[in-house]
Structure formats: C-alpha cells, structure tokens
A and B are shown apart, each in its own frame.
Chain A
Amino acid sequence: MSRIIEAEKVSYIYQTKYQKTKALSEVSCSFERGKVYAITGKSGSGKSTFLSLLAGLDVPTEGTLYVDGEDMKEMDRDAYRMNRASVIYQAFHLFPLLTVQENVMFPMELQHVPQKEAEARAKEHLAKVGLPDTLYKKMPNMISGGEQQRVAIARAMAAGGEILLADEPTGNLDSQNERVIVDLLCKLAHEENYAVIIVTHNEAVAAAADVVYGMWDGTLTVVRE
C-alpha cells in the first residue's frame, strides 16, 4: 500500500472580521491507496474543514499537506480536483440541469474526453454503481436519494482520480441505501485502489472502514487502525 496524502501538523483558523476560530490544531496523519478511512466526530469538531483541505478547496493556515510528496500549497489545486481527487456530499450535489448520464459525463467533458467515449464510459460507471439504464436520461430530481448518491459516486469514478473524499455520504439515506453506498465505497478502495476518506458520525459507516480517526475540537486521534 502506498501513501498518497500526508498531513503534517496541519492547523486551520477561520478568520472573520470580528473573530478567529481555530478549526484544526496540528493534525498529523496519512492516507494510503486501497484503504477506506473514516473520520468521526461531533458536528463542529473540524471534520468537514479537514475534508475541504484534503480536497484542495482551501489551504492550511499552518502545517503542510503533501500529495504524493508534493506540497499542496505549491500545486495547481484545481487540476488536482479535476484529475486526482473527487468529493461526494451528503446532499449529493448533482447538476440539476443535466441528466443522470450528463452529470457523469461532465468531469470527462472538462478533461476534453471525446463525446462518444465519454458517453460509453459514463454508462459503464453507472452500470458499476448498479443504476438501471432506464434512469440515465432522467433529471436528478426524478430519482431517489440513494440513486442520486450512486450517480455522484459514478461521477467521481468518471473523473478517473485516485482519491475519493466523502462528506457524510449516507447522511440523507435510509439504512438499505446506506449499506449499498458503503459497499460501493469499500469496493472502490479495495478493488480499484482508491484512497477513500469518509467524514461521518454514523457508526455503521465507520465500522466498515479500514482505519478510523476521531476528531475532537480540531485535534485528530487514531481510534482504530
């Protein structure tokens, strides 16, 4: 197993006009390909902030995040998100104006994959996440929450990256769909060698992970390895 992300004494301070809030305090950890990681903790403990740093949507106030040994601050973080790391969200966040299939094709369009090839690969990914082809031409608001999350995973796979970041991916799902999504994420890590990092406060999701970290007031501890 090779190490893909490494956090070294990462701190993050939210600064507004009136106050400063330390959301992360000297977090150090590492993530490997082929493993599922769960970061658990109460709301406001800093889990989502850490995830946004891992996604390159922001940079640490102090400390360093390395991706394959390269300092994230020095990287083109837009290209990193486009090609290497995908994020799935609790609220699914599919493009409401695009069909299921178009949503999955979108990252490939950004990567200038030819239309025909993108269409074929989108169908392939949608099939992998177990979505029937009758849903491909539907708009996101016409399918269920579980199905929407599967589309989001297919979209993440379509980007062709190696890091999958999930922010409470089962938060809006029933237990049956929750199981399906967790299985899918585990399969991506174990069979397709993704580093899957899930932020959750759902114990069942955490139980399925290979490594569990706990976040408490901005500090990270190993719960299970």
Chain B
Amino acid sequence: MYHYITKSIRRLKSRSILVILVNCVLAVLLNLYFGLIDSYRTQLTDLAANTPIRCTITNPDGTREVGIAVKSDILRDLQAAQQIKELDCSTQLKAGFGEFEIARWEENLNLDVSVVNRIDSSALPDHIRVNYQEGWDESLFAGSEKVCLLKKSDMEEQGFSYGDEIPFTVYHYVYIDERRDVDILELGYMNLKVVGQIDDSDSVESHEYPDMLVPFQTIWDAFDERGVDFTAEAVSFYVRDPLALNAFKAEMEQIGGNGLLEVYKGEGARFSYKGSALYVQDGIFITMAGRLKTALRILTAFLIPMGILVFIIGYVISHLLVNGRVKEFALFRSLGVKQSGAVWVFWSEQLVLVLAGNVLGCLTALLIGQVGLQDILTVCGAAFGGYMLGTTVALLWLAGNRPLELLASE
C-alpha cells in the first residue's frame, strides 16, 4: 500500500502539486489572518501602555481638583487598591522655624510646606531641582521618616547643613464648606532632619518652589499622633490596566466605604470642599480602544466561518479529486482490501500532500510575516486539521457506495 501511495503521488503530479499549493496558500492566508488579529491585539495592549488613564479626586461638582479635603479612609483604601498605580497624594502646610506663639505668627509663619509622597507629584513644579544628602534619595517621599528638604537659600541664610535636626512649628489648613472658607490651625511643634535641599539658585523659576518638602506619611503620622483628622489636598493616580476598566470602576465603588462618586466636570452639585468624587480621563483611550476593539470583534467573528471555509475547501477539493478515482477505490474493494484499508490509502495520500503544503505555507509565513513560529505552527495545525476533516468526510461518502456500482459507473 505504501508503494501505491508514493506512486500515486508521483504519477499524478499536477493533482499533487495542486493540493500542495492549495494548502500552502491556505496556510499563508490563515497566518496573515491570525497575524492581523495578533497585530490588533498588540496595538490594543500598546495603547493601554501608551495612553495612561489619569484619575483625579475632585469635589462633588468636579470644580476643584486641588485645595480639597480628601479624608484619610479614602487615602488608606487607595493605598491598598489593586487597580491603580502611581498614587500621587499631597497636601500643603504652613510652618515657621523654631517655636513661637500664635500671636507672633505673622513674622514667623513664613514657610510654604509641600507634603508629597513622590518627587514627581503634580503638586510640585515640573522643573523643580533637588539634591539629597549622601545615603538619601527620592524614595524618602514614600516613607515616614521625620526628614525634610529645605530651600538652598534658606539653608545658607539660617546656616543649616545636611543632618541638622531643625525645630518647626506647623500649621494646617481646614476647609469649611458652610463658610466656603479656609481656616488655618496649629498642628504643633516638630523636629525634622534636613536630608536634602531644593535648588533655588535659578531666581526666575524658583519663585514657584515651596520652601520645604516633607514626606506625606510623616505628616499623616504627626496628625494621627496629635489626634487631628488628616486630609490630603490633592490626589491623583493612574488606572493600572486600562483594558480592565470595569474591574477598576468596581474597586472605586468600594473606596472609602461609600465609594467615589464618578463626576463629569461641569455637572451641577452643591458646592463642597470634600474630595469625594472621581474624575476619570478615559475619553481618548475609550475612543481609540473602541475602534481597535470593533476591528478585532469583526475579525474574530470570522473565526468560525474561516474554520468552516477550510473544512469546505478540504471537502470540495478532496471530493473532486476522489470523484475522479472512484473506480480505483472500488477496485481496491474488489481485490479484497477492507473498506477501512481502501479509505486509509486515499486518506494517507492526502495527508502527505496536505502536510507538505502546510510545511511550505509555514515556511512562507515565516519569511513574510512577523508572526512567531509557535503561532504559525498553531495556525498551520488548525488549517491542516480543518482540511483533513473535509477530506475524511469526502472519503467516508465514497466508502458508502457499493463497489460494483462504482465500477459499473462510466
């Protein structure tokens, strides 16, 4: 039988080449199709990486993103949230060197303090330049050490050096909705070690700089120690996976117990300083991702029809080829070859040709495409399976005929 298969492939050259070519083209086309799907998927993933979705905590009517009061239970939940990244929390304080009485605040309370959890916080000017004492770096802002950075000019004026523990009297802002006003209250006296300086030697830009930088958690702890409610004045972050917006929104619904109300800027609500709403800047991402997702949906909708098409091609071609060889099949039966044996001969012959076509298709796809070898092998495997399924059905149809009828047909 093996000889018969090899002779048949050799002697029916044009038919064999046709089957090989059809399968080669089929494998290449399927690889292009799956390559296109893969490319759209990559674009979508890249879009998620390159178009970050920024979220900001705002007051309920969305009119204020800074100068609001974001409660500590919201902050705590945001710190533990799984669906966000690059949490940026800040608050502003007033401070003065040393200890002084409230009555003398006007001449002493002259330091603007920015309390941040990262040096690239949106609360700080973009171009701010800082230097650190040896052994310290920007990671200090994520910690809770009792440290600070002072303006270089202030340090020179006061004669401070790195490592000095400096006493401060600190005041904090309190936002009052009823009066639509801001109060300033004393937090207390605290010592902070100087571990860096804000380089304000450029007099043009430095007027925007705060006088002092302190880690966010350090101040939060100080509030807690004194039993004062702590609030952040500005909070923003990014969605960890823009492709999982639903999971993100579900998590946001649990933040701070009641969840964050999602607002669209400009929508009416009673004015408040409370930072209890969330503004998600996902418009651009949703528009761009929507287009890609639609394209992907259309392409993947053709997945089953493509499978059926491959099966039909396999069936039709095998049926046409086998139709011209029904007498050979009947002759096998007439000579005592079992039905399964006769089907096996034709099936194996097709198997060899289809495999050869697929190997050629794989090589061509490798040469022309950007699809990986594993993907190509998977696609070719699917093409091979679909085609051979069609072949099997065509041969089973043939096997259902009476041999003598097949031999009698002219």
Contact = CB atoms under 8 A, between A and B. Distances in A.
Contacts of B408: 48
Contacts of B328: 95-97
A87 to B, nearest CB: 5
Interface string B324-348: 0001101101111110000000000
A57 B333 contact: yes
Interface string B378-410: 000000000000000000000000111001101
Interface stretch (A102-110, A122-130, A186-194): A102-110
B12 A93 contact: no
Interface in B1-51: 1, 3-4, 7-8, 11-12
A106 B335 contact: yes
Given A102-B7, A109-B3, A82 B335 contact: yes
Interface string B92-108: 00000000000000000
B340 to A, nearest CB: 10
A91 interface: yes
Given A58-B402, A95-B328, A109-B3, A81 B335 contact: yes
B3 A93 contact: no
Contacts, number: 61
A110 B337 contact: yes
Contacts of B330: 93
A107 B331 CA distance: 11
Nearest to A83: B336
Given A57-B402, A93-B327, A97-B7, A78 B337 contact: yes
B338 A78 contact: yes
B8 to A, nearest CB: 5
A79 interface: yes
Nearest to B410: A91
A13 B286 CA distance: 71
B7 A80 contact: no
Interface residues of B, number: 23
Contacts of B334: 55, 57, 81, 87, 93
B336 A82 contact: yes
Contacts of B337: 78, 82, 110
A52 B404 contact: yes
Contacts of A82: 335-337
A89 interface: yes
25 contacts: A52-B402, A52-B404, A55-B334, A57-B334, A57-B402, A57-B403, A58-B404, A78-B337, A78-B338, A79-B336, A81-B334, A82-B337, A83-B336, A86-B335, A89-B407, A93-B331, A93-B407, A95-B331, A97-B328, A102-B7, A106-B4, A106-B335, A109-B1, A110-B337, A159-B335
Given A102-B7, A109-B3, A110-B336, A57 B331 contact: no
A98 B7 contact: yes
Contacts of A93: 327, 330-331, 334, 407
A49 B333 CA distance: 16
A113 B330 CA distance: 22
Interface in B283-313: none
A58 B333 CA distance: 11
Nearest to A85: B336
B335 A48 contact: no
Nearest to B11: A97
Interface of A: 48, 52, 55, 57-58, 78-83, 86-87, 89, 91, 93, 95-98, 102, 106-107, 109-110, 159
Contact of A91 (B333, B335, B407): B407
B335 A57 contact: no
Interface of B: 1, 3-4, 7-8, 11-12, 327-328, 330-331, 333-338, 402-404, 407-408, 410
Nearest to B10: A97
Contacts of A57: 333-334, 402-404
A190 to B, nearest CB: 25
Contacts of A52: 402, 404
Closest 7 A/B residue pairs (Cβ)? A82-B336, A81-B336, A52-B404, A97-B11, A78-B338, A78-B336, A97-B8
Nearest to A58: B402
Contacts of A110: 335-337
B312 to A, nearest CB: 26
B190 to A, nearest CB: 98
A135 to B, nearest CB: 18
A159 B337 CA distance: 12
Given A81-B336, A82-B336, 8 more contacts: A48-B404, A55-B334, A57-B404, A78-B333, A93-B407, A97-B11, A98-B4, A106-B335
Nearest to A105: B3
A110 to B, nearest CB: 7
Nearest to B341: A78
A4 B219 CA distance: 111
Contacts of B331: 93, 95
A52 B330 CA distance: 12
B406 to A, nearest CB: 10
A141 B403 CA distance: 22
Most buried by A among B11, B12, B331, B336: B336
A158 B327 CA distance: 20
B336 A80 contact: yes
A45 B342 CA distance: 31
Contacts of B333: 57, 78
Contacts of B410: 91
B334 to A, nearest CB: 5
Contacts of A87: 334
Nearest to B330: A93
Nearest to A98: B7
Contacts of A159: 335-336
Contacts of B3: 109
